[in-house]
Structure 1
Amino acid sequence: MLGNLDTVLGDTSGRIRLAAGLVVALWLGVAWAHWSPTTRPEAAAGPPTYELRLLVAEGQPSPAGGMFDRFHVASQPIVTPLNRKGQTAFFATLIRSGAEEGVFRHEPDGRIDKIAAAGDSAPGGGTLSSFAKHPIVAMNDKGTVAFTAAVAGGKAVEGVFLHTAGRLKAIALTGTAAPGIANGTFADFEVPALDDNDNVVFLANVRRGREAVEGIFLSRGGELRKVLAAGDPAPGGGTFAAFGIPSINSAGTIAFTAVVEKGNVLGGIYLHQNSEARLLVGAGDKAPDDSTIAKFSERIALNESGTVAFNAILKYGTAPAAVLRVDGGSTGFVARIGEAAPEGGKFGYLGLWPAIADNGAITFIASLEGEAPGIAIFQSDGGQVRRIIAQGDALPGGQKLASFGLYPVVSASPDGQVAFATTPTSTGPGRDAIYAYLPVKRR
Structure 2
Amino acid sequence: MSQIGKGSLVRLVALIALVLGSTAYVAQADPGPGSPIPANDPFYSYDGSLDVAPGTVLRTRPMTFATPTLTTPIKGEQVLYRTTDQQGESVVTVATVLRPLIPGPAKIVSYHMAYDALGSQCDPSYTLSGGATSPIASAEQTVIAGYLAAGYTVVAPDYEGEELEWTVGRQSGYAALDGVRAAESFLGLPSSTPVGLLGYSGGSVPTQWGAEVAPRYAPELNIVGVAAGGVPVDFAHNLPYVSGSPKWAGVIPALIVAYQRAYGLDTSEFVSDYGLQVMDQVDQECIAQFADDYPTLTDADMVKAPYTSLLDVPAVVEIINDNIMGISGTPRAPLFLAVGHSDPIGDTVMITADVQALAHEYCGRGVDVQYAQYDGLNHEMAFPPFEAQALQFLTERFAGGPTHSNCATIPVGNSLAPTPVP
Q: TM-score range by the shorter chain?
A: under 0.3
The structure where helix makes up a greater share of residues is: 2
Higher RCO structure, 1 or 2 (CA under 8 Å, sep 6+): 1
The structure where strand makes up a greater share of residues is: 1
TM-score by length of 2: 0.24
TM-score by length of 1: 0.23
